[in-house]
Amino acid sequence: MWGKVIFTLNQNNVKPVRLLIDDNIIFQVNNFVQNKSFIPESGGVLIGSQVIDKQDYILNIITVPQRNDIRKRYKYFRNKKYHQDIIDNIWLSSNGLSNYIGEWHTHPQELPEPSAKDINNWKKRIKHPTFYLDRLFFIILGTQHLRVWTGARGDSIIKELLYEKE
């Protein structure tokens, strides 16, 4: 049985936002940790669903680097077409339950810090939404830690979620 890793953003007077990440996703992204100097950045999109009437999102599928992605030590650029095809197929086969809920990429840092470019990209994504749900999530996987941020549809603020121990 797989468990889940939970990240939470507590907010005043509103339900906390939670991202529930399937353990198998953690195992999957761990294959891309940049813990050796020759390993380039990796990334992909996050696919999951929102729990009805809650600010809980379940992340259960990711895409991994595809051909034509640009992968350097300090740079990852996703070729939209291949990842979009995967999103579309999963959306169809899940009858619309599984949607694009964000993006992930790696950094060669123990505790990953988003670059100014990362933050700008994320803000662009939420400000001009081309997605279905209320918010998006952004994951950066460092060599020791995984961190999660979120932003709400149409907003321009990015906030970090914190790892919640059961």
Chain residues binding Zn ion by CB under 5 A are 115, 118
For Zn ion, which is the closer residue by CB, 108 or 129? Answer: 108
41 a catalytic residue: yes
Task: Give the number of other Cβ atoms within 10 Å of residue 150's Cβ.
Answer: 26
For Zn ion, which is the closer residue by CB, 69 or 118? Answer: 118
Taking the complex as a whole, the smallest distance from the CB of residue 165 to Zn ion amounts, in Å, to: 26
Of 41, 113, 160, 166, the catalytic one is 41
Task: Show contacts of 72-78: CB within 8 Å, 24+ apart.
Answer: 72/40, 72/41, 73/34, 73/37, 73/39, 73/40, 73/41, 73/108, 74/41, 74/108, 75/41, 76/40, 76/41, 76/42, 76/43, 76/105, 76/106, 78/43, 78/44, 78/45, 78/103
Taking the complex as a whole, the smallest distance from the CB of residue 122 to Zn ion amounts, in Å, to: 10
C-beta nearest to Zn ion: residue: 118
For Zn ion, which is the closer residue by CB, 18 or 83? Answer: 83
Taking the complex as a whole, the smallest distance from the CB of residue 141 to Zn ion amounts, in Å, to: 10
Taking the complex as a whole, the smallest distance from the CB of residue 112 to Zn ion amounts, in Å, to: 7
Active centre residues (catalytic): 41
